[in-house]
Amino acid sequence: MFNALVVEKNEEGKTSASVQQMSLEQLPAGDVTVAVEYSTVNYKDGLCIGPGGGLVRNYPHIPGIDFAGTVEASDDPRYKAGDKVVLTGWRVGEAYWGGYSQKARVKADWLVPLPAGLNTRQAMAVGTAGFTAMLAVLALEDHGIKDGPVLVTGAAGGVGSVATAILANLGHKVAAVTGRPETAEYLTSLGATQIVAREELNETVKRPLEGETWGGCVDAVGGEMLARLLGQMQYGASVSAVGLAGGAGLPATVIPFLLRGVNLLGIDSVMQPYANRVRAWERIAKDLPMDKLEAMIVPATLSDLPSLGRDILKGQVKGRVVVDVNA
């Protein structure tokens, strides 16, 4: 028997989450059984622990969109018992049972080997949020980061924290946007060179173009803020869009694209091919300073998850929550 966070739905459609004992026979079919060591809490996890957000199809459900651990059994030649592995994406924790469990059974295609230089706890301090941040930075690099500061919105959140630390470590000036003034010191410690109050950017203006300010942007907010900052990008600069904490609408014009050659780059971490995943994890191990990563970590256990799920949806989680599923 092992412990897992199980979400159930009653006849009225209300969900509730609790830690329950499970047996291996209850796990879904898959090629590889993993003894999970750590998971984490992402925005999507908040939806899946709580209301479902249209992501969870079937109940009872075990959320957790990522995990790291040790292979216990494998029917696939790529992995053997004792191998350390990481899983992010592939709709695990949404359509399939996920990482908020001491055991998981998954398809071998969904796994990547734990990158050299990281342990399983560090890998989950990175997690889906940090993996997404790295993909966003890679996309900016591929399209060319200009000489202005790189703007990071939602900077104190999971994606933003890691993006700030990586970009600063690579030598870029980082302007960190936050709606929580109390996080300014934290963001500066990660390498941000300036703090931008959310109020300065979170409403659209009538002018489609403003001064050319930012050499690149990692945007976790979307909505009006994304619409606004598109008009502030330097000529030929790019924005990596990774989230919608500020809403899914985009009340923008095409003027920045046409007159300034601005690029809006969509970043999907869920269905990334294997080679891209390995490239991103290798860069994380190289370009994310481990002391900065350590400073982001908020430790948690399975029983903390229902309240953390509520908190992340309200924008009240700072940094990266690392869930020790065996604690």
pLDDT beyond 90 at 48: yes
Fold match between 2-114+294-324 and 127-266? Answer: no
**Helix %, strand %, coil % of the chain (to 5):** 35, 25, 40
* pLDDT of 225: 97
Q: Are 99 and 66 in contact (CB under 8 A)?
A: yes
The mean pLDDT of 258-266, rounded to a whole number, is 98
pLDDT beyond 80 at 53: no
pLDDT beyond 90 at 263: yes
User: In angstroms, how far is CA 69 from the centroid of its own chain?
Assistant: 18
Is the pTM for the entire model greater than 0.85? Answer: yes
Domain 2-114+294-324 carries which CATH code? 3.90.180.10
Domains in the chain: boundaries: 2-114+294-324, 127-266
* pLDDT of 52: 74
* pLDDT of 54: 81
Q: How many Cα atoms within 13 Å fall on the side-chain side of residue 241?
A: 20
Q: Kind of pairing, strands 150-152 and 174-178?
A: parallel
Report the mean per-residue pLDDT for the chain.
96
3-state secondary structure of 193: coil
Query: Which two structure tokens, joined as six digits, stand for 35?
Result: 């003894």
Which residue shows structure tokens 């941040």? 133
pLDDT tens, 129-164?
Answer: 999 999 999 999 999 999 999 999 999 999 999 999
Instruction: Return the CATH architecture of domain 127-266.
Output: 3-Layer(aba) Sandwich (3.40)
Sequence letter at residue 83: D
| Residue 133 CA: distances (Å) to CA of 147, 227, 259, 268, 276 | 20, 20, 28, 10, 13
Q: Cα dihedral angle (196, 198, 203, 208), rounded to 10 degrees?
A: 30
Identify the band that residue 109 occupies on the pLDDT scale cut at 50, 70 and 90: very high
Query: Which two structure tokens, joined as six digits, stand for 22?
Result: 């499970």
Closest CA to 278 of 93, 134, 95: 134
Sequence letter at residue 162: V
